[in-house]
């Protein structure tokens, strides 16, 4: 059964989607069969993977019951379009609405090694579905003064999903994104998170850079566009493998870390 990780944040602009896209890239490079699920009606993850705007079926069709997850996967991603917001509203009146994605991914979990779910930056039904379908919740936080409050808010949602719908859900940790650790502000934000959540905060910090936007615009992975920055995600991937128990893949990651170090 695939380990399933829901990546969430209570606000946009925290690097959440870039994290999903780049982790998927790293894992695929070491041979892990990864399925990505775009649960954000903005469809930014789908754009990252260059999925055509008219691709069909999409995750909206999966959630509405019009298509199976396997049929909606396009080169390893189940994409999203703005119509997903309408589907979310339609689900609100259904019994078992929090369990729809979990049921829809039942077969997919047998067909892949890992599933990454990009949740929308809201506390709505789509985010709840992502958490109920997952084994792990990874929270993305930016290096800002109010980071602690944002992570606490997201963690409350994780705990509620675990209590009411998914006993197996575990808190994987917090990754600090868009950080400039040369500044006192970023260092203090990281220390505040570390002081509150301890070992649940990933040691790896994803550095801020315009290069991420450039790589997305050019349709290139940051691993190729800026290997020095890509090293952050290689290190993060190693931590994720360790925390999820997928340690058998670690030896395949080591050569990439060596190549990036030499770049």
Q: Is 88 left (phi over 0), alpha (psi -120 to 50) or beta?
A: alpha
* pLDDT, tens digit, 9 for 90 and up, residues 149-176: 889 999 999 999 999 999 999 999 999 9
User: Which helix (H) or strand (E) is 11 found in, with range?
Assistant: none
User: Which helix (H) or strand (E) is 130 found in, with range?
Assistant: helix 125-132
Number of domains in the chain: 1
pTM of the model: 0.94
19 against 10, higher pLDDT:
19
pLDDT of residue 262: 37
pLDDT for 260 beyond 70: no
CB 179 within 8 A of CB 190: yes
CATH of the domain at 247: 3.40.50.300
* pLDDT, tens digit, 9 for 90 and up, residues 127-137: 999 999 999 99
Torsion of CA 188, 194, 196, 202, to 10 degrees: 130
Query: Range of 76's domain?
Result: 3-262
| Distance separating alpha carbons of residues 216 and 196, to the nearest angstrom | 33
* pLDDT, tens digit, 9 for 90 and up, residues 209-246: 888 888 888 878 899 999 999 999 999 999 999 999 99
């Amino acid at each position: 059964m695939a380990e399933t990780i829901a990546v969430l944040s209570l606000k946009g602009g925290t690097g959440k989607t870039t994290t999903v896209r780049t982790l998927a890239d790293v894992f695929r490079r070491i041979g892990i069969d990864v399925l990505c699920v775009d649960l954000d009606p903005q469809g930014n993850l789908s754009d990252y993977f260059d999925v055509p705007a008219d691709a069909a079926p999409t995750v909206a069709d999966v959630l509405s019951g019009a298509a199976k997850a396997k049929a909606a996967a396009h080169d390893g991603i189940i994409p999203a379009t703005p119509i997903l917001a309408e589907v979310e509203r339609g689900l609100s009146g259904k019994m078992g609405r929090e369990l729809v994605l979990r049921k829809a991914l039942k077969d997919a979990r047998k067909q892949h090694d890992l599933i990454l779910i990009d949740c929308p930056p809201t506390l709505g039904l789509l985010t709840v579905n992502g958490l109920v379908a997952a084994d792990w919740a990874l929270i993305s936080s930016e290096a800002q003064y109010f980071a602690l409050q944002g992570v606490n808010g997201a963690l409350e949602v994780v705990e509620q999903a675990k209590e009411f719908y998914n006993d197996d859900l575990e808190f994987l940790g917090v990754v600090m994104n868009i950080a400039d650790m040369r500044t006192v502000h970023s260092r203090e934000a990281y220390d505040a998170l570390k002081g509150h959540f301890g070992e649940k905060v990933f040691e790896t910090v994803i550095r801020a850079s315009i290069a991420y936007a450039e790589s997305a615009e050019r349709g290139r992975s940051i691993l190729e566009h800026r290997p020095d920055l890509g090293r952050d995600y290689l290190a993060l991937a190693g931590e994720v493998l360790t925390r999820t128990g997928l340690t058998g893949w670690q030896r395949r990651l080591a050569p990439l870390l060596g190549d990036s170090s030499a770049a």
